[in-house]
Amino acid sequence: MLKAKVAKEDNTWAKYFASIRGVCPWSYNLMDKILIVQTPENCMKTWSSVFRASKYEACVYKFPEANPQWLINKCEELNAAQEHSEWLWSHPEADSGDNTSTHIPVLIQQDREKLTELRKKVGYTDGT
């Protein structure tokens, strides 16, 4: 069953996006353009296709039962298959010590070109 809402409609997500402003400064201001979705994995292809034509800046797909390795593998698979999207993952058990992990396991889809431009504006480098 599909469940979706805009991030700013959920206090837990609003607090999360406020807490990560240091690493993702635009996310808090764009909460009304971030869709939080809980959908079965077999619907991911459909949802990820719809994302490109949507008004949203990001789509956060919740996978409450996922482990970090599944998220890593799925993220790599999606990044290889979709040239227009950038896929990221987050898991509460995989926090790097900076308290920027989400409270539940998720995959995050963003427009690759827009994200690259935003990163350039703030001087972000990924360390590679």
Asked whether the beta carbons of 16 and 46 are under 8 A apart, the reply is no
Determine the pLDDT at residue 115.
81
Give SS3 for 85: strand
DSSP 104: S
Asked whether the beta carbons of 87 and 109 are under 8 A apart, the reply is yes
Give SS3 for 52: helix
Asked whether the beta carbons of 112 and 83 are under 8 A apart, the reply is yes
Whose structure tokens read 């990820």? 48
- Strand-pair category, 85-90 with 34-38: unpaired
Taking residues 89-103, report their average pLDDT: 86
pTM for the complete prediction? 0.84
Determine the pLDDT at residue 78.
93
Residue spans of alpha helices (H) in 6-67: 11-19, 44-53
pLDDT tens figures, 25-79:
778 888 888 888 888 888 878 888 888 888 888 999 999 999 999 999 999 999 9
Domain ranges across the chain? 3-122
Determine the pLDDT at residue 125.
63
Determine the pLDDT at residue 86.
92
Taking residues 16-22, report their average pLDDT: 86
Asked whether the beta carbons of 51 and 26 are under 8 A apart, the reply is no
Token digits of residue 66: 């996922």
**How many Cβ atoms are within 10 Å of 15's Cβ, its own excluded?**
10
